[in-house]
Structure 1
Amino acid sequence: MFKRAAVLVVSCGTFLAGCDAAPRIENEEIISNLIEAGFPADDIMVVDDAVYVGRDTQVSLEASRELLQPSEGSQEHYRTTNLVNTAIVKKICINPTTAFTSYPRFSQGLDMAIANYNALGLCFTMARGPTTGCDANISARTMTGTGGSAGFPSNGYPFGSITIGTGLGSYSVDVVEHVITHELGHTIGLRHTDYYNRAISCGSGGTEGTAGVGSIHIPGTPTTATVGGSIMNSCFRSTETGEFTSQDIAALQALYGGGC
C-alpha cells in the first residue's frame, strides 16, 4: 500500500538484471507464474531479490505456484486462491522488531490493527508477540519510504512478514493503523479492492490483473471500488480512520467467520 502514486525503488533492476543467479532463477519462475495467472508484466516489480505485485504485495515461489491451482469450494471486495487454513491456524502472532517499536505510532497502530481483526470474532485471533501458543508468526518490520508491503498466504499459513515505511511516522496514528491493517489483510489472502483500476484510489494506474484464480470476488461484497470504500484499496489518504468499512467486515466474515 502506498500514498497516491508513490513507487517502490527497484534495487536489482527491473526484471532481475544484475541479481545473483539463484534468486534470479526463482524469481523468473515467480514472474512467469504471475503472468500466467493474469497479472500484467508492468505491474510486477523486483525489490531486494523479492517479487512484488500491486506495488506492495510480495509473492513467494510457493504462493505463485498456488495461484495457478484451481479454486475449490463455493467461496469465491477480492481474494487470492491462497487462504489461511483455520483448521491449523487459530492464533496468529505479530512480532514487531526493535526498529518497528522505536516508532511510537507504529507500536500503537499495530495494537489498533490487531484489535480491528479480533473485534470481528473470526476463526483465528491475532496477538502481539512475544507470546505463547502461536500457530503462525508474522514479523512487523520497517523500510524506507512511505507505505507498506506484505505477501499472500502459502501452505495454509499467513505470509510471514509485513513491512511499514518509516515515512509514515509523520502521519496520524489512524493512518498508520490503516496501513498495518491493510498489510495484514494481504497476509491472510485479501487483494486490493480496486485491483482492476488502481486509479480509483491512487489517481492513476491500470489493472493489476484478473484471471479469476488471482482475483476471486468474495460473495456478499460489492464488485466495484470507491474512494474510501475499503481498507484494502490500493492507495491510502491522509484522512484515513484506520477502521474497517462494512464491506471489509463482510469480506472477512465470508472468508473466516463461523464454521470454524
Structure 2
Amino acid sequence: MYPKKIQLKYAICLALLVALFSSCAQKDKSTNEAAPEASIQEMTNYLTSLGFDKQKIVFEADRVIVESDIIMTLPELQQRTITWNKEKAGGPQTEQRRNTYIISNTYNNNVRIFIESSVPTAWRTAIQGAVNNWNAVNGTRLGMSIITSASGVYTRVFMGNAPGQSWIARAYLPTSNGRPGVSVEINAYFNTLSASQKLFAITHEFGHTIGFHHTNQTSGTHIPGTPTVDANSVMNSFVLNWAGFTSGDVLATQILYPQ
C-alpha cells in the first residue's frame, strides 16, 4: 500500500497527463478543422492573382469551376498554389513561368481525344470539326486525334445535363505536369444549338484543354504580340456561329506551340 502522499502525487501526475493529452487532442482537432478553410483561401488567392473573379470561383468536392466552363481538380489546384507560394517567396522557379500551364512536347503533337458513347451524333460532328480546326492552324506543332479506345486517352468528352445552367460545355485546363485537360463535359440542355454554334463551342473548349483562357476576360497571362481585344476570337466567353479562327487566335497558337 502506497503512503497517502505518494498516492496524491500519482493522482496529480495522472490528472496533468490527462489534461495534457486532452489539450493536444483539442489542438489537433482545431488544426484539422481549420486546414480546409485555410487551403481554400490560399487557392482562392492564387486564382484571383491570375485575374479570375472571386465571385465566379466555385469549389466542389474534388474540383473547382471558374468562369462557368474552366475546371481544375483540387489536387492540381493545390499543387499550383504551392508552386505559386514558393515563387512568391523567391524559391526555385518551375519550367512554367506564365501562371497558365500548357501542354508539353511529349503530348502536344497528338492530343488524343476519346468520345463517350452517350455523345449524340450532332455533337460528335462538332467534335470532329473542332479537331480539324485546331489541326489546320499552320506553323504549330499542335495536333489532335480522335481515338476509339479509352486506353491511353488524354482528353475525354462526355455528356452532362444541367438544365437552366448557363454553361454550354466546360473543360479542364492542362495539368502542371504538361498533360492536356482531362475532359470536356457537354451540357445536354443545349442540344438544340445550331451545328455552327456547336462547332464554335467545342473548338472553344478544346482551347481550354490546351491552355487558353478567355480572350475577353482578365484571367491568365496576356500572350505578348497578340491583340488585347479580339471580338471574334474563339476564346471569348460567349458562343458565336463558327466563322474560323481570327488572326489573333492563330498567332497565339503559333506562339504557344511553335514548330
In the superposition, the TM-score normalised over structure 2's length comes to 0.70
State the match for 1:93 in structure 2. Answer: 112
Q: 1:81 aligns with which of 88, 93, 100?
A: 100
Q: 2:239 aligns with which of 218, 236, 241?
A: 236
Distance of 2:122 and 2:107 partners within structure 1: 32
Q: 2:158 aligns with which of 128, 136, 141?
A: 141
Distance of 1:23 and 1:111 partners within structure 2: 41
CA displacement at 1:81 relative to structure 2: 2.4
C-alpha RMSD of the superposition: 3.2
Counterparts of residues 167-182 of structure 1 (less than 5 Å): 167-182=189-204
Q: Which structure has the highest helix share of the two?
A: 2
State the match for 1:9 in structure 2. Answer: none
State the match for 1:203 in structure 2. Answer: none
State the match for 1:200 in structure 2. Answer: none
Q: 1:59 to 1:25 in 2, by over 3 A?
A: farther
CA displacement at 1:126 relative to structure 2: 0.6
Distance of 2:95 and 2:181 partners within structure 1: 22
State the match for 1:7 in structure 2. Answer: none
Distance of 1:138 and 1:242 partners within structure 2: 25
State the match for 2:13 in structure 1. Answer: none
Distance of 1:47 and 1:66 partners within structure 2: 17
Q: Structure 1 stretches of 5 or more lacking a match? A: 1-21, 197-208, 210-214
Distance of 1:24 and 1:251 partners within structure 2: 37
After superposition, what is the alpha-carbon deviation per residue over 1:20-40, rounded to whole angstroms, capped at 9, x for unaligned?
A: xx9989766643532454433
Output the amino acid matched with 1:153.
Answer: P
Distance of 1:81 and 1:246 partners within structure 2: 21
State which structure, 1 or 2, has the greater radius of gyration over its C-alpha atoms: 2
* Percent of residue pairs bearing the same amino acid type: 27
State the match for 1:201 in structure 2. Answer: none
Output the amino acid matched with 1:233.
Answer: N
Distance of 1:244 and 1:23 partners within structure 2: 42
Q: Which stretch shows the higher mean deviation, 148-157 or 44-53?
A: 44-53
Question: Secondary structure at the residue paired with 2:128?
Answer: helix
Q: Which structure has the highest strand share of the two?
A: 1
Question: Secondary structure at the residue paired with 2:205?
Answer: helix
Question: Secondary structure at the residue paired with 1:58?
Answer: strand
Q: 2:55 aligns with which of 25, 42, 57?
A: 42
Q: 1:28 to 1:175 in 2, by over 3 A?
A: same
Q: Structure 2 stretches of 5 or more lacking a match? A: 1-34
Q: 1:164 to 1:25 in 2, by over 3 A?
A: farther
